């Protein structure tokens, strides 16, 4: 089968939401419905239940939250589908706001997003932020209202909130029958806004297996569910009258968002989510090179890489410690174009050096399988990838280089040092590896020395992850101390001396060579900006 045909059956998407909205539970439920696993693990570590397979870090299992992105790949064929199954590349992401940067990187590597909303809480701050990021990037969004089996808000109220808060029009695909807390089933809504049929669910023990479904016509549903069906029909018609009907072009332009109600815990509505993704989510499309690199290049470089061109891929995550038996580094690469064959000769665009692709894997939680061939949309794990960093491009044939990975402005800063001087060698090795993964940003200057660098992070929980991984993976106990800074700005060599003479300001060099100025607070920054407008103090914001 051709590269174009293979790409057309790929569906690569991220699951994103506020903490505790049920992302990892949904990830396992989707895998369950694709018959990749036999039993869902439910919520991690709660009530003695299993941890989800996508959460592999001990800290994740202990706390019941995801703190690192995890890629899962499996085939799925909707009922009645003819031809080869779809290849699903699903990326579960951190929900905690402290790990926004990791989530943002994932959004550069997928073609669509499934956004989960808690039925009782609606649009929470992190949900709102991620919705806006997706919309700004033009990333199509499928909205899933989760936990409909629990008491929650009115469905029309949730729709109104999405419209008013972010200007995205939800278009019902599967509307709930039964109020929140009494989830009876789903009404399948046509593109014309009519409730076509009724899907009735039956609970299973603990929701650990696929929930049986019964299909009823609209007439049978009216007889069976009476007022609950009547209400669902009226609400669907009301939204249709307001223009809230699915339109593929408007969905792909991120103007509308197909809407599904579900309970990931009970496996209600889960295969409807999968079917909808297969039916309407976009397949991989052409990708543009970094305009700055194209302009500065003295050699030929592809401006646009089509899916059937030579191989290219972009690294969006580097992770070590996934296999305790091997101290390897695994780079998650999204195949952007062409066919990837294990062992093929490829080039690292940033350095111009060749990169060995001999050790390539697909990853399911901690389970690894060797991958021989991959196509656009696939997520491939490259082993021993210490030379790679998030945002790096790998290619074969004619050169291309994709835009760099955006970084969030850090707001939290702490020093880090090894508890024992005898562990300094291991400390430096661990620091280098975790810095390359982007766990935190590492800042250094001559005054503090290499043994006492500063960690810069979006949220304080990133410091906990840094310390936990140093201890567990490198056997290095560390000590952190707070420093009196809360604002970071980019500066340059000309402005650094002048800024360093200001009280409450310290200059550092980041690993990538950028000069970073730290300020005590926003008022100190504002004062210096007013008094010294000639000095460079550029905001550190994601592009």
Tokens of 388: 């790679």
The β-bridge relationship of strands 454-457 and 441-444 is: antiparallel
Count other C-beta atoms under 10 Å from residue 167's C-beta: 11
Sheet holding 213-217, edge to edge: 70-76, 86-92, 10-16, 112-118, 141-146, 256-261, 169-177, 185-189, 195-201, 213-217
Does the annotation place 498 within a ligand binding site?
A: no
Does the annotation place 435 within a ligand binding site?
A: no
Tokens of 57: 């870090």
Count other C-beta atoms under 10 Å from residue 107's C-beta: 20
In 92-124, alpha helices (H) = 100-107
The β-bridge relationship of strands 112-118 and 10-16 is: parallel
Tokens of 351: 């350095």
Does the annotation place 35 within a ligand binding site?
A: no
> If you search the block for the tokens 């000095």, which residue do you land on?
535
> If you search the block for the tokens 């309407």, which residue do you land on?
280
Extended strands (E) in 434-514: 441-444, 454-457, 478-482, 487-491, 505-510
Closest CA to 197 of 179, 213, 181, 180: 213
Tokens of 396: 């074969």
Does the annotation place 95 within a ligand binding site?
A: yes
The β-bridge relationship of strands 86-92 and 10-16 is: parallel
d(CA 44, CA 92): 14
The three-class DSSP label of residue 482 is strand
CB 66 within 8 A of CB 95: yes
CB 417 within 8 A of CB 365: no
Annotated binding site: 92-96
Known binding-site residues for GTP equal 92-96
């Amino acid at each position: 089968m051709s590269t174009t045909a293979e790409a057309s059956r790929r569906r690569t998407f991220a699951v994103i939401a506020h903490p505790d909205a049920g992302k990892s539970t949904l990830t396992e439920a989707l895998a369950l419905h694709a018959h990749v696993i036999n039993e869902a693990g439910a919520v991690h570590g709660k009530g003695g239940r299993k941890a989800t397979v996508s959460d592999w870090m001990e800290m994740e299992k202990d706390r019941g939250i995801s703190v690192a992105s995890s890629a899962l790949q499996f085939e799925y064929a909707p009922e009645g589908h003819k031809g080869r199954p779809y290849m699903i590349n699903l990326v579960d992401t951190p929900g905690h706001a402290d790990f926004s940067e990791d989530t943002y990187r994932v959004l550069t590597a997928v073609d669509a997003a499934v956004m989960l909303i808690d039925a009782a809480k609606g649009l929470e701050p992190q949900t709102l932020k991620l919705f806006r990021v997706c919309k700004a990037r033009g990333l199509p969004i499928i909205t899933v209202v989760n936990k409909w089996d629990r008491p929650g808000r009115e469905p029309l109220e949730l729709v109104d909130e999405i419209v008013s808060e972010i200007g995205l029009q939800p278009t019902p695909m599967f509307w709930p029958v039964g109020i929140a807390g009494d989830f009876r089933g789903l009404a399948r809504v046509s593109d014309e806004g009519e409730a076509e049929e009724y899907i009735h669910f039956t609970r299973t023990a603990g929701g650990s297996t696929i929930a049986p479904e019964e299909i009823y016509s609209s007439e049978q549903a009216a007889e069976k569910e009476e007022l609950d069906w009547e209400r669902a029909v009226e609400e669907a018609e009301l939204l249709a009258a307001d223009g809230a009907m699915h339109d593929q072009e408007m969905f792909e332009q991120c103007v509308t968002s197909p809407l599904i109600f579900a309970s990931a815990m009970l496996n209600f509505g889960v295969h409807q989510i999968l079917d909808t993704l297969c039916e309407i989510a976009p397949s991989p499309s052409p990708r543009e090179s970094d305009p700055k690199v194209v302009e500065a290049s003295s050699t030929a470089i592809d401006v646009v890489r089509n899916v059937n061109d030579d191989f290219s891929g972009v690294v969006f995550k580097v992770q070590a410690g996934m296999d305790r038996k091997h101290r390897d580094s695994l780079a998650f690469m999204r195949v952007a174009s062409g066919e990837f064959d294990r062992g093929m000769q490829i080039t690292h665009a940033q350095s111009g050096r060749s990169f060995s692709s001999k050790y390539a894997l697909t990853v399911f939680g901690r389970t690894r399988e060797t991958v021989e061939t991959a196509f656009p949309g696939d997520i491939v794990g490259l082993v021993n990838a210490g030379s790679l960093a998030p945002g790096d491009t790998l290619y074969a044939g004619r050169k291309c280089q994709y835009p760099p990975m955006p970084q969030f402005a850090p707001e939290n800063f702490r020093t880090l040092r090894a508890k024992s001087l005898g562990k300094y060698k291991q400390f430096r090795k661990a620091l280098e590896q975790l810095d390359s993964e982007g766990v935190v940003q590492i800042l250094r200057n001559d005054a503090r020395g290499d043994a006492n660098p500063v960690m810069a992070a979006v949220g304080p929980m990133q410091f906990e992850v840094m310390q936990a991984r140093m201890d567990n993976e490198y056997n290095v106990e560390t000590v952190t101390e707070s420093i009196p800074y809360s604002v970071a700005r980019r500066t340059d060599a000309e402005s650094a001396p002048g800024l360093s003479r200001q009280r409450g300001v310290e200059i550092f060099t980041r690993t990538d060579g950028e000069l970073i100025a730290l300020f005590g607070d926003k008022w100190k920054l504002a004062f210096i900006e007013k008094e010294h407008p000639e000095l460079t103090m550029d905001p550190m914001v994601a592009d």
